[in-house]
Structure 1
Amino acid sequence: MGVLFDYFRAPNGETALRLLLDEDGVPASPTTVGAGLDALDAKGIDPHVILGQLVGFVLGVPWSVDLIESGLVWPPEETKPRTLDEAERLPEDSPWQTGPWLEEFGDRVRDALAGADDAALPSVAEDWTRIEEFDGTMDAAFALEITKEFVGLARRARQAGDRLYCWACL
């Protein structure tokens, strides 16, 4: 079972979460919200390692664990287990164990992608295809396409004064 990732833009965390809530009060994925949401279905591209490396290539800096700044919007912080013992006692259906999860990125991620040099994108995408996490399976044409989609989403977010979000689910 893999984790799926959707990226989208919204003015703030409250709005992002509201966009994802269905009538039962359970968050739904951006793909279920409808055409009104500016979203990118990125399947297995996690925000901290794989997207983080793309951001590193765009910025011309090496990837590091703190390159992607983010904060959790869902599940609610007040339900987060504070100790290992609390985490082990969580019910199997706890969103802390099963998701979904909603992260809000710092503006550095949005602005780095939005500020990418269009002429450099083929080279950036080519470098990105060679990261260990893709294990040689990332197609160069698809890498360029998804890179352009991330850049476009970030540019629209910056222009609107929105933030970028990542919705993850199992």
Structure 2
Amino acid sequence: MTVGVLYDYFRAPDAGTAFRLLDEGDGTPSGPATVHTDIDALDAKGIDPDVILGQLIAFMGNVPWSVDLVKTVGVWPPEESKPASLEEYDRLPEDSPWNSGPWLVELDDRLRDTLADVDDLALPSIADQWAHIEEFRGHMDVVAARDIIEGFVALARRARRADHRLYCWCCL
């Protein structure tokens, strides 16, 4: 798992609503699973959307994993403030949200639907595959993997029924 980075996944009807759900009044989104108990969220600790969740999606879709399998759109920090070059990143203040977070991204509906459409009978096999990915470094057992997967599947199904999108909030 990614050390030092926390990820919460939640559902909302759109990006504006997702941001407002997490805004503590200071224009910075706070974690839904740890701060806002009224948000339908999943505390996924070190499970990032691109690599670890992406590999789960690859197993569910029976497709090869690639770095661009999971499509995301940035919600926070605002895209218009994103540095255009490495030099601009280097000039950012240390407390810039581009350096220190938190970050909020919208996940594509294909990911939501892959999670929602998975055959429940396939979950034990998928959990066994996923628990053994390199990123878990041998620290994920199959039972825990299945519990996490079931949490993602349930969240995705509720999101689709409500015609909501999935979002990922992360922080250092």
- Band the TM-score falls in, shorter-chain normalisation: over 0.9
Aligned to 1:59: 61
The Cα of 1:35 is off from its aligned counterpart by 2.6
Whole-angstrom distance in 2 between the partners of 1:124 and 1:25: 39
Q: What is the DSSP-based 3-state SS (H/G/I as helix, E as strand, rest coil) of the residue aligned with 1:128?
A: helix
For residues 122-141 of structure 1, the aligned pairs below 5 Å read 122-141=124-143
Q: What is the DSSP-based 3-state SS (H/G/I as helix, E as strand, rest coil) of the residue aligned with 1:168?
A: strand
Aligned to 1:36: 38
Indicate how the Cα distance of structure 1 residues 114 and 27 shifts in structure 2: closer, same or farther if over 3 A, else same: same
1:57-89 CA distance string (max 9 Å, x none): 111111111110110000011111111111100
Letter in 1 for 2:22: L
Whole-angstrom distance in 1 between the partners of 2:73 and 2:88: 21
CA contact (8 A) 2:8 2:41 kept: yes
The Cα of 1:33 is off from its aligned counterpart by 4.3
Whole-angstrom distance in 2 between the partners of 1:80 and 1:101: 12
Match of 2:5 among 3, 7, 12: 3
Aligned to 2:17: 15
1:80-130 CA distance string (max 9 Å, x none): 111111110000000000000001011100000000000000110110011
For residues 14-163 of structure 1, the aligned pairs below 5 Å read 14-163=16-165
CA contact (8 A) 1:6 1:40 kept: yes
Whole-angstrom distance in 2 between the partners of 1:42 and 1:32: 11
CA contact (8 A) 2:11 2:41 kept: yes
Q: What is the DSSP-based 3-state SS (H/G/I as helix, E as strand, rest coil) of the residue aligned with 1:9?
A: strand
Q: Which runs of 4+ in 1 moved over 4 A?
A: none
CA contact (8 A) 1:113 1:154 kept: yes
Give the alignment's Cα RMSD to 1 decimal.
Answer: 1.0
The Cα of 1:137 is off from its aligned counterpart by 1.2
Whole-angstrom distance in 2 between the partners of 1:168 and 1:26: 12
Gap runs ≥5 in structure 2: none
Percent identity (aligned): 62
The Cα of 1:136 is off from its aligned counterpart by 1.3
Gap runs ≥5 in structure 1: none
The two structures have a TM-score, normalised by structure 1, of 0.97
Whole-angstrom distance in 1 between the partners of 2:68 and 2:14: 22
Q: What is the DSSP-based 3-state SS (H/G/I as helix, E as strand, rest coil) of the residue aligned with 2:73?
A: strand
The Cα of 1:139 is off from its aligned counterpart by 1.3
